[in-house]
Amino acid sequence: MKHIHLLLAACLVLAAGCAVSPETSQVAVNPLTYTDIPDNDVIRVGEDYYMVSTTMYFCPGAPIMRSRDLVHWETVSYIYDLLEDDDIYNLRDGKNAYGKGQWATSLRYQDGMYYALFVANDQQKTYLFRTADIVNGPWERNVIDGYFMHDASLLFDEGRLWVVWGNGDLHLIELEPDGSAVKAGAEERIIIRAPKEGMGLRAEGAHFYHIGDYYYVLEIDWPKDKPRTATVWRSKTIDGPYESKVVLQGTLGGRSDGIAQGPIIDTPAGDWYAIQFQDHGAVGRIPTIQPVTWVDGWPMMGKNGVPLEEVTVNLPAAGRDYVWDSDEFDADRLALVWQWNHKAPEGWSLTERPGWLRLRAAKAAGIADARGTLTQRTVGPRCISETLLDASGMKPGDEAGLCAFQSQSGRIGVAVAPDGSRQIVLRQQEGILAAVPFSGERVQLRIRYVFTPQKEGEEADTAFFGYSPDGEEWTEFPDTLRMRYTLDYFTGYRSALYNFATLEEGGTADFDWFRQRVY
């Protein structure tokens, strides 16, 4: 993103606030998408806003979402299909990218080109992608040799390209103008040393700007006995010295989790907003929008630094939310809301049986190393995911169905015994909780998610599993899954369609549709 120059007069106007017109504004209720969109960065190009988020090990990766109103976000593309075609992304020899992969992308626009910088923890590399067409690509890929730039942020400034990264101590170095490498002869230096006393997490998730007279570094802290906190550092020179101020600290929605980490962004009319995320347990880390008011040169978020649940956004409502969706599998390519767990498998098809998704079974010990697991985000506060499975092409030793996918997973599906008999099975991890004989070929499967209870007696982060022969009468198992957001996977729960073999590869599981709804 081009650095933004604010005149003093404009700052005073912003500090005083802007008049709100019903025709040109809307009230946004936080959280925004109620689904897992962490570590976001946002840029504005003309009247379009683009957001990128962390999806770690899922492929394709680094989703690009577009908005016209900063409230409704539609997935329009991905930066890459696959980072590396290695044992990690092929789930071979016990290797995987769980909890790793693509982290905290910095997204910028300069002179007709879009730039995206991120690290992949499984590769221990820093990647810089760039394209002239953020929706259609292609993206040119570079590896910045010799540097692992954790939670980095790019800044184009007066013809030069800089990057800040790190945690606790924040580092600065200059890149070549195209971002392909560190600039020859550039000197790395530490520009910010965050205090250690009384701190847990300190100075992570940097977002770097040059606005008016100041260079700003936004970051997240976690003071002991306080919620996660948005802190800003500023200096009139890029090298410092930098002074700091807390600009957002507080909880929201009855949760103890603070709101922090994310960008600030302006509108064509000169209003400013912050997109910061909040942890929401098993559903994931969810973005919020907060107003930004410039006070003595500081971008104060929320209301006097306290997060707001309802925010008036001075942009007319536009577009749609499209980060999860139902799918009838009628197209010849996957909808953009889907991501594979690691590399896309061989043998899957939307055309072998038109109107159906076919997953061909590869050998696996369980769901964690099953190639051919297709996922999309769940959504709060409560949602239902359903699918219709045709098991007629499954082989002995195969299992296929619907999974609540995270480290502590639960799934319901059809398992074929070595003798060819079939059962509907309910599993947590690889343990069987229930098994029911099944003599048919088609069955509807359901997972009902409760993330935030709305009824007396409901417990947060609980999943319920059921099946039906016809979609009319459902059997829901009494065994439930207590979902937990765990750092070994580091993503919110997803609904996943799967098929894997334990004996002989090549069996097929066909899914007629996938339907997800909030209830």
The full set of domains in the chain, from first to last, is 8-313 (2.115.10.20), 339-518 (2.60.120.200)
Note the pLDDT of residue 455.
Answer: 85
Q: Is 283 helix (H, G, I), strand (E, B) or coil?
A: helix
Strand ranges, E, within 53-168: 58-59, 61-67, 74-80, 102-110, 113-120, 125-131, 140-143, 153-157, 160-167
Note the pLDDT of residue 457.
Answer: 85
Note the pLDDT of residue 11.
Answer: 38
CB-based burial, 197-207: b 16+ in 10 Å, e otherwise: eebebbbbbbb
Q: What are phi and psi of 11, to 5 degrees?
A: -60, -40
Q: CA-CA distance, 276 to 246, in Å (whole number)?
A: 14
CB 292 within 8 A of CB 272: yes
Note the pLDDT of residue 63.
Answer: 98
Query: Can you read off the two tokens belonging to residue 329?
Result: 């599998």
Note the pLDDT of residue 10.
Answer: 36
Could you give the C-alpha distances from 184 to 149, 175, 306, 385, 498, in angstroms and in order?
Answer: 17, 8, 44, 52, 48
| CB neighbour list of residue 370: distance below 8 Å, 6 or more residues apart | 91, 341, 362, 364, 498, 499, 500
Measured distance between the N- and C-terminal CA atoms of the chain, rounded to whole angstroms: 39
Kindly tell me the burial class for residue 58, based on how many C-beta atoms sit within 10 Å of its own C-beta (0-12, 13-18, 19 or more).
Answer: buried
**Residue 391 pairs with which residues in a beta bridge?**
none
Q: CA-CA distance, 20 to 499, in Å (whole number)?
A: 52
Which of 351, 348, 346, 347 lies closest to 331, judged by CA? 351
Q: CA-CA distance, 499 to 371, in Å (whole number)?
A: 8
CB 419 within 8 A of CB 463: no
Q: What is the mean pLDDT of each run of 10 residues along the chain (519 residues)?
A: 35 37 84 97 98 98 98 98 97 97 98 98 97 98 97 97 98 97 98 94 97 98 95 98 98 93 98 97 98 98 97 97 98 97 96 98 96 96 98 98 98 98 97 96 98 90 97 96 97 98 97 97
Neighbours of 455 (CB within 10 A): 7
